[in-house]
A and B are shown apart, each in its own frame.
Chain A
Amino acid sequence: MKRIGVFICHCGVNIAGTVNVKEVSEELSKYKGVVLSTDYVYMCSDPGQKLIIDSIKNHKLEGIVIGCCSPNLHESTFRNAVKKGGLNPYLCEIANIREQCSWVHVEKDVATTKAIKIVKSMVEKALRNKPLQPIKVPITKRALVIGGGISGIQATLDIANGGYEVILVEKSPSIGGHMIQLSETFPTLDCSQCILTPKMVEVSRHPNIKLMTYSEVQEISGFVGNFKVKILKKARYVREDKCTLCGECTKVCPIVVPNEFDLGLTGRRAIYIPFPQAIPPSYTIDPEACPGFFPIACGKCADVCEANAIDFDMKPEIVEEEVGAIVVATGYDLYSKEKIAEYGSGKYPDVIDGLQFERLLSASGPTMGKILRPSDHKEPKEVVFIQCAGSRDPELHNAYCSKICCMYTAKHAMLYKHRVPDGRAYIFYIDVRSAGKGYEEFVQRAVEEDGVVYLRGKVSKIFQENGKIKVWGVDTLTGKDVEIDADMVVLAMAIKPSKGAQELAKKLKIAIDRDGFFSEVHPKLRPVESPTAGVFLAGAAQAPKDIPEAVAQASGAASKVLALFSSEQLYHDPIIAEVNEEICSGCKLCISVCPYDARVYDKEKNIVTVNEILCEGCGACVSACPSGATQQHNFTDEQICSMINAILS
């Protein structure tokens, strides 16, 4: 029988406060196979680890069980220590007596009894553990970035400049994301397009970047270092390589639909380019708006296209790619105005959202940067800005703070005052959150230099009357009701994860939080990693973020990818399936349950083997095996049954 050492951690009072650690270690010292059972105040500390290392030598230990916190926290710490002590790390097991015992129970005797059983069950496992070696797997040094906004662009460029190939997939016809829609950015008032377009051009010219716009990720399989991706390349019906951007086609196209780039403030044709600096520089036919080309119903665009770029026979394509790492940068959408009944449910044309106001401010926008309200194109003289529209409202809308609205609203009001100096700007706010370099000063500038009026309080109702938009609110600082006859209202709508994020999360097998944003592994210490190895997060897809933060996280994600690619080989957990050739009868049941095609029939021997690289170690084939020929390393039937015994004894 193996010589087992048991170490019980007090974790200060975290464990010892509810579990009688001395009793646990004493009880365990009587258990079969256990030749050493002891306890220590912090097993994860240096002296704690040294205790393990020394004990391995002094007591000739062949298996280790540590009763401590969740293996998610310190399993690798202890396995490394065990390795230092000269034992195979897979001979070390963690008995979780903190998260699953001391923290969830109150009575000491009850918690102690349970802790004893937990540790005993792990001793049973440790008695039967085999030394294992991590499995070497090759790594494909190419990355996939999903989403072509500023975060995706930044991550793509960083990885490409690091010397590796990147595929950038964007679902709309051009990269640029929301940032390209913005006018000027806080707090420096840099022109958003001017700072973004050089990066977009770099993406299109970079030899390491394969840009796939108007494309969507359909299917992802595989694992870190070895993902297989299927990408749907939608048909643009215009040949990117031929289109010269002459624009003759839009002049003859008879169809007008709302322009999504201007958020419906203007119209566009069925054949269109989202904005002049679009990358790739090409027109696109919107198949839903076009009257149809099977058979061709109109065809006017093709008649005038001198470059012969229009191709009605273009078909959507599925492109398959192999990549080693994935960065998810799918960004955000705004919470819909329709959802807020008090603010008119989106039915008043002059109640617009923040992105629409950006388009009004933008020099390339529908009004060439003039502030003209949508309903009658008059210059509004009284504008009310409302922060936290749909944010910080757990009862009706979203509980979280959308983070960027305080700053962009200050910017909106400031830029409005620059364009309409005799106009008046009011901002309703709950708090002004302006933490960031130069941010507080920016807000002060809006108040002091531009005379923006900040009113602390919530707006209870907005409605239209006599050509004005009545805004009813309360100023909680003076305690007075406020009524403003506004010409236009701008709502700082909450930031939501972009449409399709949930579906993508399923495809990637990564988690989303209760608000729909992608979850990071650890909110503080691992903010750019998803729970799936090799999948990283960047930008507002993970939480609301402003541009500098999104860029920083994108570079963080890119550096994680580069670090991954800097190793020659990856190591794969060896907790995989193994087959006993003598017993296997070649019934192939395992093949039908394996999601990874890791079980392969060997005709000559009439057995089913395991492909070590493909096996992910779920154990499904083991429980499907009728003869017990297949076992999972260190999770054998014998181990599980003896653990059951220990629990029920």
Chain B
Amino acid sequence: MRKEIFEPKIVCFACKWCTSAGADLAGTLRFKYKPNGIIIKIMCSSRVDPQHVLWAFKQKADGILIGGCHPGDCHYQNGNLKTMRRVMLLKKLLNDFGVEPERLHLEWISASEGKKFVKTMDNFIEKIRKLGPLK
């Protein structure tokens, strides 16, 4: 009997200025990647509220990818650093909730890094596939 492949559901928060633009570039260059992740475009990665992350896991997201500008490049000076701190905190919190912290991932992807967006997305999807569905 063929085992059904697990297709993880991924929510991707991407800031308008860098990561979402990087994803646009990946499209313009016609790079191909796995379709499991859908982007919610926000102005800055610092808009990601811990409650959004917890909510998404509650709604059975298998993984959450947050993309922001590289340190120093955030359109709003240092929003991305706030995100970084928040993500570190959240990972601890997730452990307490019984969610593997690896299901939350933060990556810096600039507007010119279409390739990096594709790689990050594909690798993350594979990682979550290995972890299996959220329990």
Q: Which residues of A contact B (CB under 8 A)?
A: 70-72, 96, 98-101, 103-106, 110-111, 113-114, 117-118, 121, 506, 509, 511, 513-514, 519, 531-532, 575, 593, 595-596, 616-620, 622-624, 632, 635, 637, 640-641, 643-645, 647-648
- Among residues of B, the one whose C-beta sits closest to the C-beta of A519 is B112
Chain B residues with Cβ below 8 Å from A644 are 11, 40, 52, 55-56, 59, 61
User: Is there contact, CB below 8 Å, between B61 and A648?
Assistant: yes
B72 lies within 8 A of chain A by Cβ: yes
Stretch of B27-35, B96-104, B123-131 lying at the A interface: B27-35
Most chain B beta carbons < 10 A, residue from A70, A118, A593, A624: A70
Q: CB distance B112 to A618 under 8 Å?
A: no
Map CB proximity to A onto B34-55 as digits: 1 under 8 Å, 0 otherwise: 0100111111101111111001
**Could you say which residues of chain B place their CB within 8 Å of the CB of A596?**
76
For A98, A111, A532, A640, which residue has the most chain B Cβ atoms within 10 angstroms? A640
Interface-centre pick from B30, B42, B118 (highest chain A CB count, 10 A): B42
Residue of A nearest to B77 (CB): A595
Does the CB pair A118–B79 fall under 8 Å? no
Q: Judge whether B30 and A506 touch: CB under 8 Å.
A: no
| Cα-based distance from A483 to B115 in the complex (angstroms) | 45
- Candidates B11, B28, B33, B47; contact of A632 at CB < 8 Å: B47
Could you list 18 A-B pairs, sorted by A, with CB under 8 Å? A72-B21, A72-B24, A96-B39, A104-B26, A104-B35, A106-B32, A113-B35, A114-B35, A118-B38, A509-B73, A509-B77, A511-B112, A519-B112, A595-B76, A618-B44, A618-B47, A620-B82, A640-B42
Q: Are A619 and B112 in contact (CB under 8 A)?
A: no
Chain B residues near A531 (CB, 8 Å)? 17, 111
Check B59 against A623 for contact (C-beta < 8 Å): no
User: In the assembled complex, how far is the CB of residue B135 from the closest CB belonging to chain A, in whole angstroms?
Assistant: 16
- The answer to whether the Cβ of B60 comes within 8 Å of any Cβ in the partner chain is yes
CB-defined contacts of B106 to chain A, threshold 8 Å: none
Judge whether B43 and A648 touch: CB under 8 Å.
no
- Expressed in whole angstroms, the Cα–Cα distance for A114 and B7 within the complex equals 13
- Report Cα–Cα, A114/B121, bound state, in Å: 15
Shortest Cβ distance from residue A578 to the other chain B in the assembled complex, whole angstroms: 14
Whole-angstrom distance between the Cβ of B89 and the nearest chain A Cβ: 12
A218 and B111 alpha carbons, distance in the complex (Å):
25
Indicate whether A619 sits within 8 Å of B52 (C-beta atoms), given known contacts A103-B30, A595-B78, A647-B38. no
A513 to B25, CA, bound (A): 14
- On whether the beta carbons of B47 and A635 are closer than 8 Å, the reply is yes
Q: State how many angstroms separate the Cβ of B27 from the closest Cβ of chain A.
A: 3
Pairwise interchain contact B27-A637, C-beta atoms closer than 8 A: no
CB distance from A166 to the nearest CB of B (A): 26
The answer to whether B23 has its CB under 8 Å from any CB of chain A is yes
Contact of B49 among A98, A618, A623 (CB under 8 A): A623
- What A residues does B60 contact at CB under 8 A? 648
Q: Which residues of A contact B59 (CB under 8 A)?
A: 644-645, 648
Q: How far is the CA of A267 from the CA of B25 in the complex (A)?
A: 50
Does the CB pair A641–B11 fall under 8 Å? no
Q: Considering the complex, give the chain A residue whose CB is closest to the CB of B36.
A: A114
Q: How far is the CA of A596 from the CA of B28 in the complex (A)?
A: 34
What residues of chain A lie closer than 8 Å to B78, measured between beta carbons? 595
Cα separation A163 to B32 with both chains bound (whole Å): 51
Cβ-neighbour of B47 out of A513, A514, A595, A620 (below 8 A): A620
Q: Is B110 an interface residue (CB 8 A)?
A: yes
Q: Flag if A623 contacts B76 (CB, 8 Å).
A: no
With a CB–CB cut-off of 8 A, which chain B residues contact A640?
40, 42, 47, 49, 52
Measured between C-beta atoms, what is the minimum distance from A564 to chain B in Å?
Answer: 19
Partner of B55, one of A110, A509, A641: A641
CB-CB under 8 A from B77, the residues of chain A are 509, 595
The answer to whether B23 touches A100, judged by C-beta atoms less than 8 angstroms apart, is: yes
Q: Which A residues lie within 8 Å of B51 (CB)?
A: 637, 641
- Extra A-B contacts (7), CB below 8 Å, given A96-B41, A619-B43: A100-B39, A104-B31, A509-B77, A519-B112, A623-B46, A644-B40, A648-B61
Tell me which of A99, A103, A643 has the highest count of chain B C-beta atoms within 10 A of its own C-beta: A99
Whether the Cβ atoms of B79 and A618 lie closer than 8 Å is yes
Number of interface residues of B (CB under 8 A): 48
B75 within 8 Å of A (CB atoms):
yes
A176 to chain B, nearest CB (A): 32
- In angstroms, Cα B52 to Cα A118, docked, is 18
Within 8 A of A (CB), among B83-124: 86, 110-112, 118
CA A647 – CA B11 in complex, angstroms? Answer: 7
Complex CA–CA separation, A99 to B30 (angstroms): 8
For B61, B75, B77, the residue with the greatest tally of chain A CB atoms inside 10 Å of its CB is: B77
Determine whether the beta carbon of A70 is less than 8 Å from that of B24.
Answer: yes
- In the assembled complex, the Cα of A624 lies from the Cα of B47 at a distance in Å of 9
B64 to chain A, nearest CB (A): 9
Residue of A nearest to B39 (CB): A100
Q: Which residue of A lies closest to B27 (CB)?
A: A99
Residue of B nearest to A649 (CB): B59
Find chain A residues with CB under 8 A from B32 CB: 104-106
Residues of chain A within 8 A (CB-CB) of B43 are 575, 617-619, 632, 635
Is there an interface contact between A511 and B110, defined as CB atoms closer than 8 Å?
Answer: yes
Q: How far is the CA of A632 from the CA of B46 in the complex (A)?
A: 12
Residues of B within 8 A of A113 (CB): 35
Contact residue among B24, B28, B48, B56 (Cβ-Cβ distance under 8 Å from A623): B48
Our pick among A100, A101, A104, A620 for the contact of B79 (Cβ within 8 Å) is: A620
Residues from chain B with a CB closer than 8 A to the CB of A645 are 59
CA–CA, A645 to B57, complex, Å?
Answer: 11
**Contact at A111–B76, with CB atoms within 8 Å?**
no
Give the distance to chain A from B34, nearest Cβ to Cβ, in Å: 8
Contact in complex: A511, B56 (CB < 8 Å): no
Q: What is the minimal beta-carbon distance from B110 to any residue of chain A, in angstroms?
A: 7
Contacts of B39 in A (CB 8 A): 96, 100, 118
B50 touches A506 (CB 8 A): no
- Expressed in whole angstroms, the Cα–Cα distance for A506 and B70 within the complex equals 11
The reply to whether A618 and B73 form a contact with Cβ atoms under 8 Å apart is no
Distance in Å: Cβ of B22 to nearest Cβ of chain A = 10
Chain A residue at minimal CB-CB distance from B50 = A623
Cβ of A637 and Cβ of B52 under 8 Å apart?
yes
Q: How far is the CB of A21 from chain B (nearest CB, A)?
A: 17
CB B66 to nearest CB in A, in angstroms, measures 12
Question: In the complex, which residues of chain B have a beta carbon less than 8 angstroms from the beta carbon of A103?
Answer: 27-28, 30
CB-defined contacts of B23 to chain A, threshold 8 Å: 99-100
Say whether, besides A506-B73, A618-B75, A105 and B35 are in contact (CB < 8 Å).
yes
- Tell me whether A100 and B46 are in contact in the complex, defined as CB-CB below 8 angstroms, given that A110-B35, A111-B35, A623-B86 are known contacts: no
Q: Report the Cα distance A99→B9, complex, angstroms.
A: 20
Count chain A CB atoms within 10 A of each CB in B38, B44, B112 and give the residue with the most: B38
Report A273 CB to chain B, min CB distance, Å.
Answer: 37
A635 to B50, CA, bound (A): 15
* Contact of A620 with B76 in the complex, beta carbons under 8 Å: yes
Residues B38 and A121 in contact, CB atoms below 8 Å apart: yes
